[in-house]
Structure 1
Amino acid sequence: MRYLACIVLFSWALVVAAADTTATRELEAAWRSAVDLDGEVIALQAGDDTAVAIHRRPADNDSLGGVVLIHGPGTNADSHAVVRPLRIGLADAGWDTLSIQLPAAYDDATSADWHAQAPMIEARLGAALDWLRQRGIDRSVVIGVGESGRIALRSATSRPVDQLVAVVMVGSPARFDSDEERKALGDLARPLLDLYAERDRADVLDNLQQRATAVRDAKLEGYTQRAVAGATADFRGLDDALLSSVRAWLQKHAVATDAANP
């Protein structure tokens, strides 16, 4: 039985890998041919894994730092819900944004399915941060959308605080009830924004208090839990409010003192 389970798991992994490659190639081709992408498609090398991402320079080329975005299941590196407004809007506000294309997930993929790919996602995130550093951008922030919020949180603890200076979770259903996540909170040692829509999904809203309690128990300073008034889970029609909330928080918690006060 154990052998059969291993065969099934291996076969599923091959199917997912093939689907990821096909979906990524199709997206990359569409992005490269788009006249309104508002960014440059670049390649990231994470060990043997090659990923694509969309980089957008600051409007005035005077960067406040890097912002790496990792999307959630069922979306992509240029999704019109949440990702694209932040990718473009934060670049216009002075940040180098880099939105990573993550492994594909089926429409019926569960939270467990997505988090089973966490090692690959974390490797791509690390490659993105290294790519920015190679271009002189030493201070970065990571924004994790949906299920990727927890992955962003855990990954941050593997980086020095002066390199990855803050973490943002948008629409996260996290409960922070596992030993791994509680340890990550205890080790985070940098500001954390827990942003959600006032009319978000039930799993996001139901776990708000549990997340706040876990953060308090971890004695994490710099935690902000904030709602975007009137918004639904995709922030449709309220992109500006989403961007304004993230931009203001980053200005307060992630901009270097000399950049904030030139």
Structure 2
Amino acid sequence: MPRAICTLLAALSLSLVLPLGSPLQAAEPSTLGEAGGEQDVAPDSPAADLSRPPQAERSAQAASALIRQLPDQEQQLLHAGDESFLALWLPANAAEAHGVVVLVAGDGESADWPKVLGPLRRKLPDAGWHSLTLSLPDPQDDLPALDIKTASETSATAEPPLDANADEAPPVTDAAQPDPSSQTGQPTEAAGARHAQRIKQRIAAALQLARQQQAKQIVLLGHGSGGYWSMRYLSEEQPADVRSLLLVDVKPAADASPGLDELQASLTLATGDFYYQDRPLERSAATERAQASKRQKHPAYTQVALKALPGNPEVEQEQLFRRLRGWLTLQLPAG
């Protein structure tokens, strides 16, 4: 068994308070689920067909890949409701950090996605910010949630291994993304509500970890549909200690309501909206958001137009980081 997984599983039996910059946060054993023992069922028994392990969500498979690939000290096991999930933590490379940037991935992206999330989470510490990155659960999924431990044990028998650092999100197949109504009889609306609740719990858990660092500032950054869910969380929960929001290529979440326009109208905190101006659809959507902010008389809404450089991704990511760093610097209290 890989060293990182051994360390992770050993940590599940502990209950520790996470100090600043510490490695993997221990989890309460009762929240992680227990591996069931083998059942004594005859091969030709009708119950034998039910003994197969459940298939892990693709997001859980991606998290298992990151557990194997990344250093232990970057891994944080957080609790969200009745499940646990992996988040990635990097402390600021400074004697005194400006604060914590919590990065929320979009649908189909891992916490170390090579576009936006991975580069930003590694660059922000050099600018004096802690970074904490989390991914979303699979959309519209109403199957029992699998924790990281379960996903590690079942990934060998599930779909082909998932590359957590692939350039593009893999297509969702019928096997990886079952129809909610065909599995439990739940209507799609109920599955959507459960999906939204799981995301809210994940963001809440990440913010709680950020508060443990006694950060001067907490910034929520959403990429793609992660921007939608970040806005929705802030609109519904209105945490007083989150005063800045960063949106990168924000997109509406599939089949989710309220819409982006309604969420935008409910928020007045400092917002940096970063988009790629040479992509017509994104430019058009950004124009609508800018017009909405003017009608709203938003006190601190800023749009930043970026240039896509598909032939030079490293320069494109560096451009994004520099613009984000500049925006964050402007938000720092004087002195």
Does TM, scored on the shorter chain, surpass 0.5?
A: yes
CA distance in 1, matches of 2:73, 2:290: 36
- Residue 271 of structure 2 is aligned to residue 192 of structure 1: yes
1:30 to 65, 86, 89: 65
Q: CA deviation at 1:211?
A: 1.1
Q: Which stretches in structure 2 are left out of the alignment for 5+ residues?
A: 1-53, 140-169, 174-187
C-alpha displacement of 1:223: 0.9
| 3-state SS of 1:231 partner | coil
Q: Percent identity?
A: 26
Measured after TM superposition, the shift of residue 138 of structure 1 is 5.2
Report if aligned partners of 1:173, 1:203 keep a CA contact under 8 Å in 2: no
Q: For residues 27-52 of structure 1, what are the alpha-carbon distances to aligned partners after superposition, in whole Å with 9 as ceiling and x for unaligned?
A: 344333336x5961101112212111
TM-score w.r.t. length of structure 2: 0.61
Check whether the contact 2:88–2:111 (CA below 8 A) recurs between aligned residues: yes
Which residue matches 2:32? none
CA distance in 1, matches of 2:259, 2:104: 20
The residue type paired with residue 117 of structure 2 is: V
2:157 is the alignment partner of 1:123? no
Query: In the alignment, is the contact (CA less than 8 A) between 1:197 and 1:227 conserved in 2?
Result: yes
Using the TM superposition, name which of 234-243 and 244-253 deviates more. Answer: 234-243
Counterparts of residues 1-262 of structure 1 (less than 5 Å): 18-20=55-57, 23-24=59-60, 26-34=61-69, 40-104=74-138, 107-108=171-172, 117-137=195-215, 139-157=217-235, 158-161=237-240, 163-174=241-252, 181-200=260-279, 202-232=280-310, 237-253=315-331, 255-257=332-334, 261=335
SS of match in other structure, 1:199: coil
Q: Which residue of 2 aligns with 1:3?
A: none
* CA deviation string 1:100-150 (max 9, x = no partner): 0221356259xx999763332122111100111123225211111112212
Structure 1 segments (4+ residues) deviating >6 Å = 112-116
- Using the TM superposition, name which of 131-140 and 78-87 deviates more: 131-140
Return 5+ residue gaps in structure 1 as ranges.
1-16
Secondary structure of 1:238's partner? Answer: helix
Instruction: Call closer, same or farther: CA 1:23–1:146 in 2, change over 3 Å.
Output: closer
Match of 1:10 in 2: none
CA RMSD, Structure 1 to Structure 2 (Å): 3.2
- How far off its partner does 1:63 sit? 1.1
The separation in 1 between residues aligned to 2:56 and 2:85, in whole angstroms, is 14
Report the number of matched residues.
233
Instruction: In structure 2, give the amino acid aligned to 1:78.
Output: D
In structure 2, relative to structure 1, the CA distance for the partners of 1:229 and 1:123 (3 Å cut) is same
Rg: which structure is higher? 2
Note if contact 1:71-1:148 (Cα within 8 Å) is conserved in structure 2.
Answer: yes
TM-score by length of structure 1 reads 0.77
State the Cα distance separating 1:243 from its structure 2 match. Answer: 0.2
